[in-house]
Chain A
Amino acid sequence: MLVLTRRLGESICINDDIKIVIQGIRGHQVRVGISAPRETIIHREEIYQRIQLENKEAAKLPAELEPMKALYRAFKQPTTE
């Protein structure tokens, strides 16, 4: 991993079209501004990880769907249980 030290207000350029600016530093928090083309996908890493974990959990499949049928019938007609 490339590691760079930057001061408040300084930037990093990636290719010709992505610019990352250090906008604020307070204690253990850093505020980062990112200018990038509209099609660039940018996310906080934690939410990506949460969805990766959930997808791995979802890949463990139930043995059978049978028990879900009654639940679905009850869901469709909540008043006629």
Chain B
Amino acid sequence: MITIKSNRFGAIEVSEDRVINFKDGVLGFPELRKFILVDDPNDISLPFKWLISVDNPDLAFLVTDPGIFFKDYVFDLPEEDRQRINATTEDDVSVIVMLTVPSDPKKITANLRGPLVINWRTLVGRNIVLKDTQFTTKHYIFVQSDEETKSEAESGKASVATGVSMAAAGVNASTQASKASSNA
């Protein structure tokens, strides 16, 4: 077990085999290579988790399973990224996305353009960048049909996922999202 101490979460104990190695860091934080993914210590009613840096535990990200909020979120995992996380089958890959929380929590956005893929078998993770996609870095999670967000989406600030359908044929690695929607 290792203990990760931070101001926000206090001391969290995790088993070493829950530490995910991001060999290239996450974008914007290339020096941070090791992370843990944990539930909120005070709240498990929300479908969010914390991705906490082991190297600098005061740095954390609020993340979610994109399938919960965006049923149509599916992408092909590029071969170069697949190799970097040593994924051999679809089941190796799970996908999370980071959330950005502005002062108005109604306007929380998910970054669907730069998801994190994790191979739990090898404990390797990677912040990937999707090419040739209509997904952006800001998609509202709670207010996808709100008039206000629609107008912002049209002005290019954000985009809603409703009605988005990616070519699902020939998917190399489906995301948790696609699994979730096929189970639904």
Contacts and interface: CB of A to CB of B under 8 A. Distances in A.
A47 B134 CA distance: 13
Interface string B130-148: 0100000110011000000
Contact of A58 (B8, B81, B98, B129): B98
Interface stretch (B22-30, B87-95, B149-157, B169-177): B22-30
B105 A54 contact: no
Interface of B: 8, 26-29, 40, 42-43, 45-48, 59-62, 69, 79-81, 83-84, 98-101, 105-106, 108, 111, 113-114, 127, 129, 131, 137-138, 141-142
A18 B138 CA distance: 34
Given A58-B100, A65-B48, A71 B113 contact: no
A-B pairs with lowest CB-CB distance, top 9: A51-B114, A52-B28, A55-B28, A54-B137, A62-B101, A58-B98, A67-B105, A58-B100, A71-B142
13 contacts: A38-B79, A39-B80, A39-B84, A43-B131, A51-B28, A52-B27, A53-B28, A55-B114, A58-B100, A61-B60, A65-B42, A68-B48, A72-B45
Contacts of A57: 100
B23 to A, nearest CB: 12
A74 B143 CA distance: 10
Contacts of B127: 51, 55
Nearest to B24: A41
Interface residues of A, number: 29
B100 A54 contact: yes
A65 B27 contact: no
Q: Is the interface of A mostly helix, strand, loop or mixed?
A: helix
Interface in A17-57: 38-41, 43, 47-48, 50-57
A65 B28 contact: no
A51 B79 CA distance: 20
A69 interface: yes
B12 to A, nearest CB: 15
Contacts of B80: 38-41
A58 B99 contact: yes
B46 A72 contact: yes
Given A65-B48, A72-B46, A59 B27 contact: no
B103 to A, nearest CB: 9
A75 B141 CA distance: 9
B98 A39 contact: no
